[in-house]
Amino acid sequence: MSMKPKRKSITSDEKLTVVARAKRGESLNSLEKETGHQRTQIRKWIAQEDKLIELQRKQKRVKGGGRKPLFPEIEMLAIEWFKKQREKKLVVNYNMFRREAMKICQNIGTPTTIDNFLCSNKWIRGVCRRNKISSRKITHQSQQDNSSQKEICSKVKTFIAAINQKTANISKKFIFNMDETACYFDMCHSRTLHFQGDKTVDGLDTGHSKNRFTVVLCISAAGTVIRTQIILKGLKKIPKVVLPKNIDLVVSDGGSMTTKLMLTWISSCYMTQCNIFKCENSLLIMDSYGCHMKDEIIEKLKKFGNTDVLIIPPKTTSFLQPLDVSINHPFKNALREEWNSWLGEGPEDYTSKGYRKKPSYQNLVDFTAAALKKISPEIIIRSFECCGIGEYGERIALSMLNKKLQAALVTEKTSQVIQHNAELVLEDEEKNIDEEYELVFQEDLSCTKTDELLSLSSNMENNSKCESDYESD
């Protein structure tokens, strides 16, 4: 005895799609062959089009409907534990969640609950769906930090006050941020589209995914990228390559920035920016890396570049440094696209053992130059704004700051609301933060020297002349 085939439910959206195609002139025979729906059924849908449209507008399920959770108390306590783990930035997976849920069940459950609670993957998936939890790729890896929210808030306020004081007479064209970022010979993607069902998902590289080189980026608040330095690791001599005008190439045993290379960067990259250093002041913002704070570095910048240096407090670069917040990620994505194009479309050179050769030094220079062109000026300008850095001591609105910086300005009363995900604070706390944020700028103005305020107008006039020279050059 043959079993009847199981009937498939057809949604109103699918029906209306078939009706629309029939109205556009497609024959019912072709629709029947393509969709599998009978012609008589399609005619019926055409006649019922108005009812289908009305049905489409209605809710499919009443709010609050559906089956209720079987173990709501266990679920509530498990979610509380989950929030605490993620506030500490600790990884949580299904096995960890299951172990904690079983502990909770043993502690608070009745004998009946303990016997019936299996904590299956289906139950965990339901808990995650109800609480909007999903598996996410970690986007920022950092070391464990024991700084309290109060200490971080104090550092941020001091830095914001220093920014507004130091930029009181500086245009955005003369405000710079410099940082080094590690790049690799093989810039492989960690994810790819692939057919479902396959147990292995392969990817290609040249076997040099851990061989790195350093790119020294420097951007201005006006949206420009100054000449970029590339540091190659483990070489004694600079390889012979064709360098674009916006690229400088140096070598280092360790492949990282040193005091000697820092002096080279100042001479060959930073000091070559047209006539900007004819102006009275410029500002260079850097992190607290050792060679950035050497006396000879600061003296050279001050003597030859009229540049004041502002050091970002440790453990705050992820939300106070424009390059870390907005630029490094799109730059590396663009670099990764160039590498992928080279791997898939470039000339295929192989070693004597039959392996694909790694990118040449000329390839690395070309990749970097092409990736720099893809960084839009709008993103660069926005990167300074979202870090609270403006020209002429301008106050950046709280809503314009990045979420982590907003979270860092929160007092201890609301520090538990925002930790890992740096979400915007609750509406009832926004007023308190605005008041604290206002006090930061009041303190900033009180700390500003009187003679600097008196000379502000004359300095702005001098800067405007320099800007015209800068644009003409």
Smallest Cα–Cα separation from 272: which of 243, 303, 244, 304? 304
449 confidence band (pLDDT: 50, 70, 90) = very low
Averaged pLDDT, 63-68: 66
468 confidence band (pLDDT: 50, 70, 90) = very low
Is residue 335 scored above 90 in pLDDT? yes
Report helix angle 72-87 to 121-130, nearest 10: 70
383 and 219 Cβ atoms separated by less than 8 Å: yes
367 confidence band (pLDDT: 50, 70, 90) = very high
| SS3 (DSSP) at 83 | helix
Residues 338-348, buried b or exposed e (16+ Cβ, 10 A)?
bbeebbeeeee
394 and 221 Cβ atoms separated by less than 8 Å: no
Amino acid in the structure at residue 440: V
Q: What is the pLDDT of residues 16-58, one digit of tens each?
A: 888 999 988 888 888 888 888 888 889 988 988 888 887 777 6
Residues 104-127, buried b or exposed e (16+ Cβ, 10 A)?
bbeeebeeeeeeebebeeebbeeb
Smallest Cα–Cα separation from 417: which of 432, 400, 429, 433? 429
5 confidence band (pLDDT: 50, 70, 90) = low
| Strands 175-184, 212-220: pairing kind | antiparallel
Amino acid in the structure at residue 268: S
Residues 250-279, buried b or exposed e (16+ Cβ, 10 A)?
bbbeebebbeebbebbbeebbbebeebbeb
464 confidence band (pLDDT: 50, 70, 90) = very low
Q: 55-59, 177-181, 282-286: lowest mean pLDDT where?
A: 55-59
DSSP string for 199-235: S-------S-TT-EEEEEEEEETTS-B-PEEEEEES-
Q: What is the pLDDT of residues 229-276, one digit of tens each?
A: 999 999 989 999 999 999 999 999 999 999 999 999 999 999 876 555
Which domains can be identified in the chain, with CATH numbers? Answer: 21-57 (no CATH), 74-130 (1.10.10), 149-186+208-472 (3.30.420.10)
In this predicted model, which residue has the larger pLDDT, 398 or 178?
Answer: 178
Q: 62-66, 290-294, 302-306: lowest mean pLDDT where?
A: 62-66
Q: 12-26, 136-150, 450-464: lowest mean pLDDT where?
A: 450-464
| Strands 175-184, 282-286: pairing kind | parallel
Averaged pLDDT, 278-293: 86
Q: What is the pLDDT of residues 115-127, one digit of tens each?
A: 889 899 999 999 9
Residues with Cβ within 8 Å of 223's Cβ and at least 6 positions away in sequence, in order, are 377, 378, 380, 381
| SS3 (DSSP) at 130 | helix
Is residue 437 scored above 70 in pLDDT? no
In this predicted model, which residue has the larger pLDDT, 361 or 423?
Answer: 361
Residue with tokens 């989950």: 82
What's phi and psi for 228, nearest 5 deg?
Answer: -105, 135
Considering the chain, what percentage of its residues have pLDDT values greater than 90? 44
Output DSSP code: residue 190: S
Averaged pLDDT, 303-331: 91
Task: Say how far apart CA 411 and CA 165 lie, in whole Å.
Answer: 23
Is residue 81 scored above 90 in pLDDT? yes
Give the per-residue pLDDT at 438.
Answer: 58
Q: Is the dihedral of CA 195, 198, 200, 206 positive or negative?
A: negative
Smallest Cα–Cα separation from 252: which of 267, 236, 263? 236
Smallest Cα–Cα separation from 214: which of 242, 251, 159? 251
Q: 144-153, 264-273, 458-467: lowest mean pLDDT where?
A: 458-467
Residue with tokens 């096995």: 95
64 confidence band (pLDDT: 50, 70, 90) = low
Averaged pLDDT, 68-82: 92
Average pLDDT of the chain? 82
Give the per-residue pLDDT at 97.
Answer: 95
Give the per-residue pLDDT at 279.
Answer: 57
466 confidence band (pLDDT: 50, 70, 90) = very low
What predicted TM-score, i.e. pTM, was given to this entire model? 0.69
Considering the chain, what percentage of its residues have pLDDT values greater than 70? 81
Is residue 463 scored above 60 in pLDDT? no
Is residue 353 scored above 60 in pLDDT? yes
Smallest Cα–Cα separation from 386: which of 315, 334, 327? 327
Give the per-residue pLDDT at 310.
Answer: 94
Task: Say how far apart CA 400 and CA 322 lie, in whole Å.
Answer: 13
Q: What is the pLDDT of residues 185-233, one digit of tens each?
A: 999 888 888 888 888 888 889 999 899 999 999 999 999 999 999 999 9
Averaged pLDDT, 160-173: 90
Give the per-residue pLDDT at 435.
Answer: 55
Q: Is the dihedral of CA 148, 151, 154, 159 positive or negative?
A: negative
Q: Is residue 84 within a helix (H) or strand (E), and if so which, with residue range? A: helix 72-87
Strands of 228-233's sheet in order across: 247-252, 228-233, 212-220, 175-184, 282-286, 307-311
Q: Is residue 285 within a helix (H) or strand (E), and if so which, with residue range? A: strand 282-286
461 confidence band (pLDDT: 50, 70, 90) = very low
